[in-house]
C-alpha cells in the first residue's frame, strides 16, 4: 500500500473515531446520569496537621465525645425528627470562658462533661487558644473564624482584672461595658453576632435581660469549596424519601475517588474541602435502619483517632470510586425552639452539667468583683448552606451570667467502586481532618 493510501485510510479511521465519540456523548439521560469513568475526580488530598500536645490530643477525642453526646441528646429534643445543625464546639467555648472563673465542684463538673477530665483551668484555656490560633491557618482555601466576646452590664457589675486578662489572652475576647437599659445594647450584641458570621446569624437575642450581669458569646464561621466542585449541569430534581413522605429535591452528582466506609448500620463518605484538611463526613443509613440508629451507634462507640467514626472493630475508611449524589440544602436551628423545656440549659443538664446553672450551688467567684456567678440562660443559633460550590456554616452561642443570692497521596491503583446516593435522611459532621476536631454536627431529613 502506497503512502497516499495509508494517509487516507488513517484519516478515515480518525474521522470515524470522532463521529463515534460524538454519538456516544449524545446517549440517553440515564447513561449521562451515571457519568463517564474518566470523570472520576481524585478527592484524596494531602494535609498538614495541627501540632497538638499529647494532652490536647486527648482533649480533642474526649471533647468529641461530648459532641456526640450532644448530638444524641439534641436529636431526641428536635421536633418531629426535623433537620438540624449545631456546633457543640461553640458551646465548649462559652463554657470554657465560664470555667476560667469557676472553682471546686463546679469547675470539676464542667471539665469532666466537656471531656477535659479536670485537667485544670490553664490546660482548658491553652487548648481553646490553640484552636483559635491554629484552625484558621491550616488551609488557606478554607475560611474558619472563631470569635469570643463579653458584654458587661455597667449598672450591675465589674469583671475582675485577672479574668479580663485571661479572656483577652486565651479567648481573644475584649470585654465591653454597656448600659443594658438602652435599646442600643440589643442592637450592639446582635450586630456582633451578624458581623462574625457573615450575616448568617443576624440576631442571637430577642430582648435584653437587665438583671444579667454579663453576656458571654462565641461565634464560629466556616466557608469552603469542595476539593472538587459539583457541576451544576449534573444536578437534577430527584425523589428524596423524607421523614413524612417522598418529596423532590435537587441532588448534586459526580464520580469521585474518596474515603468510604460501610457496615451493617450505615455507609459513610468523607468529602474534603480545599486542600483536604477539612471534611464533611456524611453517614447514610442502610436498608431497614434510620438516622436514629446511626446517632445511637456513633454516640456509643465514639470517634477513633485516625479512623473517624468507626462503628465496630474492623470498620475502616478506604479509598473507593464513589458514584456520589448529595442534596443541595439549607438548614437553620435554634435551641430555644427545641421540644425540651428549658432549651440548651436543660439539654446540658441532661448531659451532666448542673452546678453552674444552680443559683444556690454554683461556684464561679472569679468572674466579677465581689460576686459569685451562675449561668441563668444559654442559647445557640446555627445555619448551614450546602451547594455545588461547597459549604457555608455558622453558629453563635450566648450565655447570660448572673450573680447568685492525615490522608496520604493516592497511588495509581485500581480502587473498589461504591454507590452513595443521599436520597434519604442522613447524619453529617464538619471536622478538621488532622486533629479530628468536630466543629459542626447535623441531620438532614427534609426541607
Quick: pLDDT tens for 180-208: 999 999 999 999 999 999 999 999 999 99
How far apart are the C-alpha atoms of 120 and 107, rounded to whole Å? Answer: 8
Scan for cell 450546602, then name that residue: 386
* Model pLDDT, residue 245: 85
Nearest to 267 by CA among 393, 423, 412, 392: 423
Which residue positions in the chain have pLDDT lower than 70? 1-48, 79, 301-315, 405-413, 447
* Model pLDDT, residue 298: 87
Cα distances (angstroms) measured from residue 103 to each of 108, 175, 290, 306:
8, 21, 42, 35
The answer to whether the beta carbons of residues 192 and 175 sit under 8 Å apart is no
Phi and psi, residue 176, nearest 5°: -125, 125
Domains 54-224+330-403 and 227-327+408-444 share a fold: no
Q: Which residues have a Cβ under 8 Å from the Cβ of 92 and sit 6 or more positions away?
A: 63, 66, 114, 128
* Model pLDDT, residue 27: 36
- At 392, list the grid cell: 457555608
* Model pLDDT, residue 39: 55
Cα distances (angstroms) measured from residue 160 to each of 191, 205, 222, 249, 405:
26, 25, 33, 53, 19
How far apart are the C-alpha atoms of 446 and 84, rounded to whole Å? Answer: 10
DSSP for 353-378 reads: --GGG-TTT---TTSBTTB-EEEEEE
| Residues facing 249 on adjacent strands | 238
- At 367, list the grid cell: 468572674
- CATH fold group of domain 227-327+408-444: Alpha-1-antitrypsin; domain 1 (2.30.39)
Nearest to 440 by CA among 222, 133, 138: 222
* Model pLDDT, residue 37: 42
* Model pLDDT, residue 157: 82
**Strand ranges, E, within 159-277:** 175-178, 214-225, 236-242, 245-262, 266-273
Say whether domain 54-224+330-403 belongs to CATH 1.10.510.10.
Answer: no
How is the chain split into domains, by residue range?
54-224+330-403, 227-327+408-444
The answer to whether the beta carbons of residues 13 and 6 sit under 8 Å apart is no
* Model pLDDT, residue 44: 57
Q: Which residues have a Cβ under 8 Å from the Cβ of 88 and sit 6 or more positions away?
A: 66, 67, 70, 71, 438, 441
Scan for cell 452590664, then name that residue: 153
Rounded to 10 degrees, what is the CA torsion of 184, 186, 187, 189? 120
Q: Which residues have a Cβ under 8 Å from the Cβ of 83 and sit 6 or more positions away?
A: 329, 331, 442, 443, 444, 445, 446, 447
* Model pLDDT, residue 412: 57
How far apart are the C-alpha atoms of 425 and 445, rounded to whole Å? Answer: 4
How far apart are the C-alpha atoms of 256 and 320, rounded to whole Å? Answer: 8
* Model pLDDT, residue 215: 97
The answer to whether the beta carbons of residues 439 and 142 sit under 8 Å apart is no
Secondary structure class of 392 (helix, strand, coil): strand
How far apart are the C-alpha atoms of 160 and 401, rounded to whole Å? Answer: 14
Amino acid at each position: 500500500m502506497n503512502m497516499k493510501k495509508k494517509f487516507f485510510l488513517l484519516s478515515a479511521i480518525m474521522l470515524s473515531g470522532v463521529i463515534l465519540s460524538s454519538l456516544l456523548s449524545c446517549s440517553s439521560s440515564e447513561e449521562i446520569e451515571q457519568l463517564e469513568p474518566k470523570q472520576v475526580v481524585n478527592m484524596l488530598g494531602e494535609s498538614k496537621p495541627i501540632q497538638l500536645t499529647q494532652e490536647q490530643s486527648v482533649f480533642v477525642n474526649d471533647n468529641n465525645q461530648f459532641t456526640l453526646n450532644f448530638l444524641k441528646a439534641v436529636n431526641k429534643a428536635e421536633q418531629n425528627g426535623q433537620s438540624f445543625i449545631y456546633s457543640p464546639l461553640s458551646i465548649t467555648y462559652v463554657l470554657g470562658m465560664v470555667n476560667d472563673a469557676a472553682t471546686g465542684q463546679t469547675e470539676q463538673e464542667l471539665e469532666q462533661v466537656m471531656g477535659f477530665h479536670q485537667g485544670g483551668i490553664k490546660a482548658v484555656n491553652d487548648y481553646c487558644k490553640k484552636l483559635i490560633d491554629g484552625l484558621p491557618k491550616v488551609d488557606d482555601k478554607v475560611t474558619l473564624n472563631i470569635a469570643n466576646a463579653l458584654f458587661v452590664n455597667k449598672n450591675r457589675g465589674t469583671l475582675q482584672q485577672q479574668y479580663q486578662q485571661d479572656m483577652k489572652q486565651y479567648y481573644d475576647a475584649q470585654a465591653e461595658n454597656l448600659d443594658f437599659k438602652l435599646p442600643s445594647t440589643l442592637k450592639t450584641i446582635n450586630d456582633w453576632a451578624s458581623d462574625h458570621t457573615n450575616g448568617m446569624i443576624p440576631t442571637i437575642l430577642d430582648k435584653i435581660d437587665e438583671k444579667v450581669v454579663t453576656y458571654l458569646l462565641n461565634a464560629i464561621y466556616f466557608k469552603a469549596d469542595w476539593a472538587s466542585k459539583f457541576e451544576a449541569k449534573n444536578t437534577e430534581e430527584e425523589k428524596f424519601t423524607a421523614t413524612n413522605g417522598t418529596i423532590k429535591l435537587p441532588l448534586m452528582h459526580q464520580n469521585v475517588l474518596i474515603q468510604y466506609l460501610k457496615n451493617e448500620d450505615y455507609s459513610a463518605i468523607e468529602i474534603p474541602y480545599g486542600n483536604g484538611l477539612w471534611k464533611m463526613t456524611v453517614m447514610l443509613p442502610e436498608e431497614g435502619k434510620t438516622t436514629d440508629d446511626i446517632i445511637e451507634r456513633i454516640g456509643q462507640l465514639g470517634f477513633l483517632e485516625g479512623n473517624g467514626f468507626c462503628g465496630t472493630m474492623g470498620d475502616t475508611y478506604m479509598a473507593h470510586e464513589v458514584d456520589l449524589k448529595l442534596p443541595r440544602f439549607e438548614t437553620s436551628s435554634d435551641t430555644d425552639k427545641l421540644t425540651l423545656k428549658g432549651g440548651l440549659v436543660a439539654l446540658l443538664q441532661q448531659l451532666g452539667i448542673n452546678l453552674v446553672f444552680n443559683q444556690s450551688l454554683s461556684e464561679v467567684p472569679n468572674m466579677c468583683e465581689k460576686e459569685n456567678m451562675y449561668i441563668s440562660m444559654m442559647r445557640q443559633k446555627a445555619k448551614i448552606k450546602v451547594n455545588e460550590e461547597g459549604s457555608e456554616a455558622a453558629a453563635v452561642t450566648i450565655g447570660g451570667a448572673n450573680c447568685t443570692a492525615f490522608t496520604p497521596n493516592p497511588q495509581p491503583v485500581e480502587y473498589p467502586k461504591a454507590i452513595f446516593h443521599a436520597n434519604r435522611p442522613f447524619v453529617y459532621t464538619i471536622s478538621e481532618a488532622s486533629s479530628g476536631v468536630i466543629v459542626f454536627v447535623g441531620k438532614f431529613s427534609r426541607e
